[in-house]
């Protein structure tokens, strides 16, 4: 039985003041959630968010982590820094990191291995662009990214990893794959994990990350392969995010 996981990716949004306001409104709305709930906040809000959700059902997440323990990597953040702040989950390989900052499958793999080594739980993102989708390359892209991200990671670590399928063309555009399309592609990812790890893939939680919102959450979450959502825009409003969480 895979426990659904809904994670809010706040991206580069919310000052400390805005973080407090959002969490103050959100905490009472989702206290009866049946799924696991995570908020992946900006670095500047990690400490205050961690304090606010300490005695709630919300888990703390960050939006990236470096593969090195320390060093001359200006503007990066280490796993030790995140762990000290009480972070549990960390997003790795988000399409915006791949698209705007040149993240490669090898970099995603390095970040994931370091996160696991330090006790963080990676949310590893994979997904195709619109051109790749229209070119019939979806299956090739997501299997290649999945295999690259998990290179050298042992089966025992799978219980601490979440995969997020996020079609790049559906992120921040308001577009979304049909529930069947999303389910089918997640099945491709799960089949690739089964090729790599065998039966252990059945227990892997795979989220959908393409503009899940209050209107489509229930339909998407009803699909057998979809185990949750990595939520962008809808996570920035307490009422919207709560409706997704309580789908």
User: What are the catalytic residues?
Assistant: 94, 166
Residue 139: how many other CB atoms lie within 10 Å:
15
**Two structure tokens written together for 90:** 């960390």
Neighbours of 68 (CB within 10 A): 14
**Residue 196: is it exposed, middle or buried by C-beta count within 10 angstroms (0-12/13-18/19+)?**
middle
Whether the CB-CB separation of 65 and 93 falls below 8 Å is answered with: no
Q: Where are the alpha helices (DSSP H) in the chain?
A: 16-29, 46-52, 79-84, 95-101, 105-117, 130-134, 138-149, 179-197, 217-221, 238-245
Which of 123, 103, 104 is closest to 112 using CA atoms?
123
Distance separating alpha carbons of residues 133 and 170, to the nearest angstrom = 11
């Amino acid at each position: 039985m895979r426990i659904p996981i809904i994670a809010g990716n706040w991206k580069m949004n919310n000052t400390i003041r805005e973080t407090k306001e959002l969490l103050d409104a959100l905490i009472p709305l989702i206290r009866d959630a049946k799924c696991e709930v995570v908020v992946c906040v900006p670095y500047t809000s990690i400490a205050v968010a961690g304090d606010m959700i300490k005695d709630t059902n919300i888990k703390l997440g960050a939006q990236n982590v470096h593969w090195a323990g320390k060093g001359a990597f200006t503007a990066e953040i280490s796993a030790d820094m995140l762990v000290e702040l009480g972070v549990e989950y960390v997003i790795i390989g988000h399409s915006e990191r791949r698209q705007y900052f040149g993240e490669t499958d090898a970099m995603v793999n390095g970040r994931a291995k370091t996160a696991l080594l330090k006790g963080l739980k990676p949310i590893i993102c994979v997904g195709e662009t619109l051109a790749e989708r229209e070119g019939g390359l979806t299956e090739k892209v997501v299997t290649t990214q999945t295999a690259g991200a998990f290179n050298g990671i042992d089966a025992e670590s799978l219980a601490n990893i979440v995969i997020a399928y996020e079609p790049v063309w559906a992120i921040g555009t308001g577009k979304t794959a049909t529930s069947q399309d999303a389910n089918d592609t997640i099945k491709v990812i799960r089949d690739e994990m089964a090729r790599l790890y065998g039966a252990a893939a059945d227990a892997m939680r795979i989220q959908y990350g393409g503009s899940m919102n209050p209107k489509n959450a229930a339909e998407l979450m009803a699909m057998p392969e979809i185990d949750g959502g990595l939520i962008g825009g809808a996570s920035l409003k307490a009422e919207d995010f709560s409706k997704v969480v309580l789908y």
